[in-house]
Amino acid sequence: MKIYTNDDVSPDAFKGERIAIIGYGSQGRAHASNLKDSGADVVVGLRAGGAGEVKAKQDGHTVLSVADACKDATIIAILTPDMTHADLYKDVIEPNAPKGVAILFAHGFSVLYGRVIPRADMDVILVAPKGPGDLVRREYQRGRGVPSLFAVDRDVSGKASTKALGYARGIGGTIGGVIETTFKEETETDLFGEQAVLCGGTTELVLMGFETLVEAGYRPEIAYFECLHELKLIVDLLYEGGFEKMHSFVSETCKYGDLVSGPRIINEETRERMREVLNDIQSGDFARDWILENMAGRPRYNALMRQDLDHQIEHVGKDLRSRMSWLQNKQAVDA
């Protein structure tokens, strides 16, 4: 497997490009700032009067309307939420995008599921850092980089890969290492990871563990510490050094319980449910459901979110976290 680094990508790879960053959320802010600091010609396209416009101007960017940002661009990076892409592209970007421009995404959802069908003259590329925007920015400022993925869905110019890799270098990705993928692989694995493991799977595991202890008569505060609070300690060890580091830092008793009880909780039935989730993603059923949910005003989404945020573990957690001085200090710094 080829991993692209600074040695493979010229620092002048984006020379002559005008990059329009559309959106100034977590990723948009990081990409725009990193590219600008790398010497790229960057403009930011935003809705007038919004909070993003104020932030972008404070950060020293040239801010234009989305239409005007697109007009002279050679790369247009669409970094707004997925569900905004279809109308934004159709109504504003396509009518103002020059012929031969490259359209860049940080996630392949809109292209894979046909929400955006770029004009035939456009290169269609993807650059996806494997981390949130604040990490992408913070690591760049430290002279480091977050590993990234890149993909080419359509190469009209014959230079689509060069454009994608140049962009990846500009945001710091080639310091962390960049791996080539496809829109399909990036989208389906990203959605699966979020649903089955990182968010959906983890939060449900935490909730069930918490509820099991509380139902058995243990105090919710103790259950919170054991099932949620200490999760970060284990995840950090896994993140830093995989299973080996995690096992080297926990007790022998913990390791034995891990090895004999883990497979009783996460087992073949769990794997079968994961396959069902993956099938829903691969078939497009999840995408269709999410698109229709948005069109209907998100009634199910809102109800499920309220249910999540009103759970006992949230009320207990807020009280306990308010007593953790290191978390209060972190929030002050982040703000």
Q: Scanning the structure block, which residue is given the tokens 């932030």?
A: 55
Q: Scanning the structure block, which residue is given the tokens 């031969």?
A: 100
Q: Could you report how far apart the first and last alpha carbons of the chain are, in Å? A: 40
281 neighbors 269 (Cβ within 8 angstroms):
no
Q: Binding site annotation covers 312? A: no
17 neighbors 163 (Cβ within 8 angstroms):
yes
Q: Binding site annotation covers 226? A: yes
Q: Binding site annotation covers 65? A: no
Which residue in 61, 85, 107, 229 is the catalytic one? 107
**Cα distance between residue 249 and residue 233, in whole Å:** 10
Q: Binding site annotation covers 133? A: yes
CB atoms within 10 A of CB 156: 17
Q: Binding site annotation covers 47? A: yes
Q: Binding site annotation covers 10? A: no
Q: Binding site annotation covers 194? A: yes
**Cα distance between residue 175 and residue 140, in whole Å:** 9
> Is residue 107 among the annotated active site residues?
yes
Q: Binding site annotation covers 230? A: yes
Q: Binding site annotation covers 27? A: yes
**Cα distance between residue 201 and residue 268, in whole Å:** 15
Which residue from 163, 156, 23 is spatially nearest to 92, judged by alpha carbons? 23
Q: Binding site annotation covers 155? A: no
Binding-site residues for Mg(2+), please?
190, 194, 226, 230
Binding-site residues for NADP(+), please?
24-27, 47, 133
Indicate which residues carry an active-site annotation: 107
Binding-site residues, please?
24-27, 47, 133, 190, 194, 226, 230, 251
Binding-site residues for substrate, please?
251
